[in-house]
Structure 1
Amino acid sequence: MNIDELKNIWNDDISHETPEISMEHKNKINLPLENMRKNMRMEFWSTLGIFIFAFALVSLCEAPFKFKFYIDILLISMGIVTFFFFSKFFRLYKEMSNPVLKTYDALKDLLQQLNLNKQYYLSFYLSFVPFLVCELIIVIECLPHRQPLSDMRIATTLISAVLIGLFGLYLVGNLWFRHFYGKHITKIQNLLTELEK
C-alpha cells in the first residue's frame, strides 16, 4: 500500500467521523446563536448600568458614613463576583462568534458548553444570596430604628431573607435563562437531532 492510498483512507475516515454541516443548517444555527449573543450584550450593558446607578445612588443618599462605606464595599464585592461570572460568559460569547462551526462535532461541543453555562448562570444568581444577607445586616445595624429590634425579630428577618432570597433568585435566574437563552438552545438541540438522522 503506498502513501497516496493511506492518505485517501485517512481522509475518508475523517470525513465519516465529522460530517460537514450544510449551508442551510449553518443558517439555521446562526440565527439562534446571534440572538443569544445579542441577549448577552444586552445583559452585560444593563448589569453595568445597574452598578453605575447603585454607586451613584449610594453617593447621593443622605446616610451615615459607616452605612455608605459598608454598602460601597458590598457593591465592590458584588462587582468582583459579577466580573468572574461574566468572564466565563464572555468566553462562551467569543466561542459562539467563531465561524468554525462547520462540523457536527463542533456543534455538539458548543451545545455542551451552552448547557454548562446554564449551571454557571444559576450559580451566578445564587451567589447573590450572601450579599442579600449582608445588606440586611447593614440595614439592621447601621440605620436608626424607632424601637430597638429584638433578637428574635432579627433572627427571623435574616432566616426568612435567606430562604426567600434563595428561592427567589433561583426562580428568577431559571426564568431569565429560559426566556433569553433556553429557547435558542432548544432550537440548536432540535437541529442537532435533525442532523443525527
Structure 2
Amino acid sequence: MNIDELKSTWSEDTATETPEISTEQRNKIQLPLENMRKNMRREFWWILGIFVFAFLVCSICRPFKLQLYITVLIASMFIVTVFFFSKFFKLYNEISNPVFKTYDALKDLMIQFNLNKQYYLSYYISFAPFLVCEILIILEFIPWSKPLSELQIAIILISTVTGGLFVLFLAGKFWFHHYYGKHIKYIEGLLNELKA
C-alpha cells in the first residue's frame, strides 16, 4: 500500500461524524445542569458556613489543649474539603459553559459525572480518620463519673467508628442521589435516546 492509498483510507476513517444534538435536546439538558449548578453553589455555602461555625466554637473551647486539638482537627478537615471541592469546582466550571453539540461531548460529560460521584463518596469516607480523632478527644476530655476501663474505651471506639463509617457512606450516597443523581439519570436518559 502506498502513501496515497494510506492517506485516502485515513480520510475515510476520520470522515465519520458523531451525531449532532438537536437544539430541543440541548434545551432539555440545560434544566438539569442548571439545577446541579444551583445545588453545588448551595452546598459550597453550607459547608463554608459549617466551617466558620466550627472555628468559632473552637475559639471558646477550654482548656487550651482541647482548643488546640479541635482547631487542628477542624483545620485538617478543612484542607481535605478544599482538595475535594477543587475537583467539584472543575466540574462546576465545565457545566457552567456547556457546549454539547455532539453525542460524544455528552458522553464525556457523563464520564465526568461518574468520576465526580466517586470523588463525592470518597469525600465522605475520608472523614473516617477525623471521626476516630473526635472520639479520642471526647474520651480524653469528657469527665466521666468513674473512669472507663480499657475494654469500655475499645468498645466505644470500635462501635462508634463502625457506625460512623456506615452513616457517612449512607449520607454521602443519599446526599449525592438527592442533589445530583436524579439530574444525572435524566441526562443519561437523554444520552440513551440519542444512542438509539
How do 1:147-186 and structure 2 match up within 5 A?
147-186=146-185
Which moves more between the two structures, 91-100 or 69-78? 91-100
1:20 aligns with 2:20: yes
Task: Give the aligned partner of residue 53 of structure 1.
Answer: 53
Residue 196 of structure 1 deviates from its aligned partner by 1.0
Q: Distance in 2 between matches of 1:183 and 1:98?
A: 21
Which moves more between the two structures, 120-129 or 136-145? 136-145
Q: TM-score when scaled to structure 1?
A: 0.90
Residue 13 of structure 1 deviates from its aligned partner by 5.3
Q: Which runs of 5+ in 1 are unaligned?
A: 1-5
Q: After superposition, give the CA deviation of every residue in 1:108-147 in whole Å (9 maximum; x if it has no partner).
A: 0000110111111001001111101100101111232221
Q: Which runs of 5+ in 2 are unaligned?
A: 1-6
Q: Distance in 2 between matches of 1:137 and 1:64?
A: 16
Residue 160 of structure 1 deviates from its aligned partner by 0.5
Q: Distance in 1 between matches of 2:130 and 2:112?
A: 28
The DSSP-based 3-state class of the residue aligned with 1:169 is helix
How do 1:45-194 and structure 2 match up within 5 A?
45-61=45-61, 63-194=62-193
Q: TM-score when scaled to structure 2?
A: 0.91
Q: Distance in 1 between matches of 2:71 and 2:41?
A: 26
The DSSP-based 3-state class of the residue aligned with 1:181 is helix
Q: Distance in 1 between matches of 2:33 and 2:12?
A: 30
Aligned length: 189
Q: After superposition, give the CA deviation of every residue in 1:36-55 in whole Å (9 maximum; x if it has no partner).
A: 01100000010000000011
1:32 aligns with 2:35: no
